[in-house]
Amino acid sequence: MKNEKILSVLIDESGDFGRVDQHDPYYHVVMVLHEQNKSISGMVSAFENKLYNWGYDNHYVHVGPLIRREKPYINELRETRRSLFNALFHFTRTAPINYIGITLDKRKCNEDTGICYVDTLTKQIVAELKKNYEYFTHFDRIIVYYDYGQDELARIIVSVFNALFANVEFRNDKPTEKVLLQVADLICTVQMISVKETLSKSEIEFFYSKSDFKKNILKQIIKKEL
């Protein structure tokens, strides 16, 4: 019996389905793709050992709070927070993963915003998956990981993947995939910052300038796009 070809799809989002905030009118979805035959166990161990040595044993890095110096990083110096970010960023750049990024501009929905958000986002996700349909159908199984934090997105994900592909499973995270969910969070945060006209004070402190962010962070992340 041949070995199964299994694709992990790890999903994170930024934003919500509420009314438009003119300062941040976007809703972002990121799908990190990992072919399970490409082992990352050694890289995961190296990453987790770094965190352990810095006093963050069994820790899930949340990139937004890390940049904004919010809990649990409120007492950490910028150098420590940057070290945590850089460790996850290095993992993201070097791991055998790809991603699909989707951005919904909520300002384009003037009436019945809830329905419009769902309709528009569904069409965007379908378009991206169909564009890469041959890639997805190459696998015997697709396992989708999402924490089901937002009901609307959960329903879209389940309906779209089931409609397009056979042999799809839906799960919460498991230990071997935990770091990849942190990768999804990092890419989602990078995608969110990339569409901002100006950086916040905390983002400037962390990345220095928009041009530095684009050159040092965004450019490297985009290379992983499917």
What are the residue ranges spanned by the domains of the chain? 6-40+99-222
Angstrom CA distances, 34 to 6, 30, 85, 141, stand at: 9, 13, 21, 12
Give pTM, 2 decimals: 0.93
Residue-wise burial string across 63-79, b where 16 or more C-beta atoms lie within 10 A, e elsewhere: beebbbbeeebeebeee
Q: Per residue in 138-194, pLDDT tens?
A: 999 999 999 888 889 999 999 999 999 999 999 876 545 689 999 999 999 999 999
1.10.275, 3.90.550, 3.30.420, 3.30.40: which CATH number matches 6-40+99-222? 3.30.420
Chain center to CA of 110:
27
Tokens of 100: 């699909």
Per-residue model confidence as pLDDT tens digits over 33-64: 999 999 999 999 999 999 999 999 989 999 99
Q: How far is CA 137 from the centre of its chain?
A: 22
* 217/102 Cα distance (integer angstroms): 18
